[in-house]
Amino acid sequence: MKKKWVAFVRGNRWVVAKVKVAQRKPALNILSLNEYVEGAESPVSKVLQLRTWLKKKKVPLKKLEFTLSCQGVITRMITLPLLSAKDLEKLLTEQVAQYFTVNIEDYLVDYRVVEQVEEEGQKRLKVLVTALPKYHWEPMWSMWQEVGLEPKVVDLASDCLARLYGRLSRQILKKDSGELLKDLAIVDINSDGVEFLLLEHGVFFLYSDLETDLADLPPKQEENPDLETLQDSEQAERVHLELTQTFSSVLRTLAEFLSFFAMRHFGKNVDEIYLTGELAPLPYLAELFETELGIPTHLGFIDEWKPSHSSGVKLAENDWVKYGSLYGLALRED
């Protein structure tokens, strides 16, 4: 297994892990995992404190791989004729603006070939083009340079989630050969925002995000992990109502997202929903999504996949489901 250092960054929250990754299958062992929240100090103090924390945790500044989660990322899935790598690079460098309605000069643009398909007897490329707002990237990159970080890889959370759930889907297909990969909705839920990702037969289909403030959450319930098992019907009703009110904008946005998918697929909706992210372990949340949207909803990952971890890594129950994009980054092979 290959060892690597990976980091998830969203706003002022950092998650840094040292992992061992299997070469041929999505198997992952977490050797260490630590979280850090930047304070409200001056930029100079932030740099000093982050550098000190990274040194304390023995994080190698020149070996770290990053996945970023932020608002305003734009994705486009485009279909192009079969091109050489050089011609594709030229096209998406010189003419990428035609695929966006925003001023592309305000964004950092990258792309990757998702798959090669055949349409009307012609071989074509499906290419995912992603635009990251410079107003997010530039101050972050400046701070990293001051800290002394020299990232080996910088990826986006949406791509990392697509990698993780896509690989897990293909693993299931190998076990159950003959079946098509399922269509999935991935919901990455964080206190300051939510990211939505749709996979069509295991391949990136559509992405969106929603800015939210989910800091004011219902009180955590310690017992009865399933709403249906709550003996007190009034308690069950109260919990359901509180969650529905708190996540109303998330549920509404996801419902609209799924309706668009169904319109593009002759009325067929996604087969399953998966929840990951900072707030995914919240009790009853998966039940709420399933009840409100009428689609089987699961906490975590396909086929109950989960990473293993060394004895020194202390995670609360279900906390392992928070880090989907981090796991997807760890599985990146280049």
DSSP string, 260-310: HHHHHTTT---SEEEEESTTTTSTTHHHHHHHHH-S-EEESSGGG---EE-
Q: Which residues pair with 130 in a beta bridge?
A: 75, 110
Instruction: Kindly list the distances between the CA atom of residue 233 and the CA atoms of 1, 222, 226, in Å, as whole numbers in the listed order.
Output: 50, 17, 13
Which value, in Å, is the radius of gyration of the alpha carbons in the chain? 21
Neighbour count for residue 279 (Cβ, 10 Å): 21
Residues 117, 113: Cα–Cα separation, whole Å: 11
Instruction: Kindly list the distances between the CA atom of residue 263 and the CA atoms of 2, 171, 208, 252, 291, in Å, as whole numbers in the listed order.
Output: 43, 28, 17, 17, 22
Please say whether the beta carbons of 229 and 287 come within 8 A. no
Per-residue confidence of the chain (334 residues) as pLDDT tens digits? 889 999 999 989 999 999 999 877 888 999 999 999 988 777 778 899 999 999 999 999 999 999 999 999 999 999 999 999 999 999 999 999 999 999 999 999 999 999 999 888 889 999 999 999 999 999 999 999 999 999 989 999 999 999 999 999 988 776 555 577 899 999 999 999 999 999 999 999 999 999 998 866 654 544 444 555 555 667 777 878 888 999 999 999 999 999 999 999 999 999 999 999 999 999 889 999 999 999 999 999 999 999 999 888 888 778 999 999 999 999 998 7
Neighbour count for residue 22 (Cβ, 10 Å): 12
Please write the tens of the pLDDT for every residue from 200-251. 999 999 999 999 988 666 545 444 445 555 556 677 778 788 889 999 999 9
Q: Note the pLDDT of residue 299.
A: 95
CA angle 55, 56, 58 (to 5 degrees): 60
